[in-house]
Amino acid sequence: MNIKSPWDGVISEEEQRAYEAAGFGRPTGVGKRPALLIIDVQYRTVGTVSQPFWESIKEFPTSCGEVGWTAVRQIEQLLSMFRANDWPVVYAYVSPKQRFDQGRLSDKVPAIMDIAQKGYEFVAEIAPREQDILLPKKHPSAFFGTPLVSYLINAGADSIVVTGCTTSGCVRGSVVDGFAYNFRTLVPHDAVYDRSQTSHAVNLFDMAAKYADVASTEEILAILGSVKAAD
């Protein structure tokens, strides 16, 4: 079987044809000044070393394991291009929560409330620099209850490249909200990650159909390269 997309073999060919027949999935492209959004790439989501899932969660129960480290290597490539072009880079992340602001997250995912301090640190390979934007968030979407839109407008960004985790949670929530704010949105499917590969594939398919252009990191780097050439 020739696998062309991350969701092939998960979403049936008939269902994919149904979306195509309805006209879903047309590309929206990238604007003139993209911003890179790195969501929750902290040790709590990948572990301090790359390990299979069941080993990784012994350190941090919220870790996605080695798939996270695979994505980190792709994010490194994207980050290098953004830094070289002086394009905005935003780190959306969860910080330790006080009791009064835990909300329903403490009900649904209590493990996230009791993580060692090391877990909240950014992964060193893609750690932020002085000029980057740090965006603590309390909810899945990086846009909800944060000044992200204001930051993007101030930076002159008209597009966002969304990376990080989880594909089915914070990535999807941020992609949907970014789309609602009319930002052209790109998702490199190998630079986002999830503890469930089925959920990862299904949500990538849905985002590609409705909200974002989904492609490999290599393909998105080529798209971004055309923006650089046009400057």
pTM: 0.94
- Residues 200, 174 contacting (CB under 8 angstroms): no
* φ, ψ (nearest 5 deg) of residue 129: -115, 175
Residue spans of the domains in the chain: they are 30-230
The C-alpha atoms of residue 227 and residue 45 are separated, in whole angstroms, by: 32
In whole angstroms, how far apart are CA 110 and each of 39, 56, 62, 181, 216?
20, 18, 10, 31, 33
* φ, ψ (nearest 5 deg) of residue 191: -115, 10
Closest CA to 128 of 175, 75, 180: 75
Q: Can you say whether residue 40 is alpha, beta or left, with left for phi > 0 and alpha for psi between -120 and 50 degrees?
A: left
CA 219 to chain centre: 16
Give the pLDDT of the chain (231 residues) as one tens digit per residue: 355 899 999 999 999 999 999 999 999 999 999 999 999 999 999 999 999 999 999 999 999 999 999 999 999 999 999 999 999 999 999 887 655 566 676 677 777 767 888 999 999 999 999 999 999 998 999 999 999 999 999 999 999 999 999 999 999 999 999 999 999 999 999 999 999 999 999 999 999 999 999 999 999 999 999 997 666
- Residues 165, 37 contacting (CB under 8 angstroms): no
Q: Which fold has domain 30-230?
A: Rossmann fold (3.40.50)
User: What pLDDT, on a 0 to 100 scale, did the predictor assign at position 1?
Assistant: 39
The C-alpha atoms of residue 28 and residue 223 are separated, in whole angstroms, by: 12
Q: CB-hemisphere CA count at 13 Å for 183?
A: 28
Q: At a CB cut-off of 8 Å and minimum separation 6, what does 200 contact?
A: 6, 166, 167, 168, 192, 193, 194
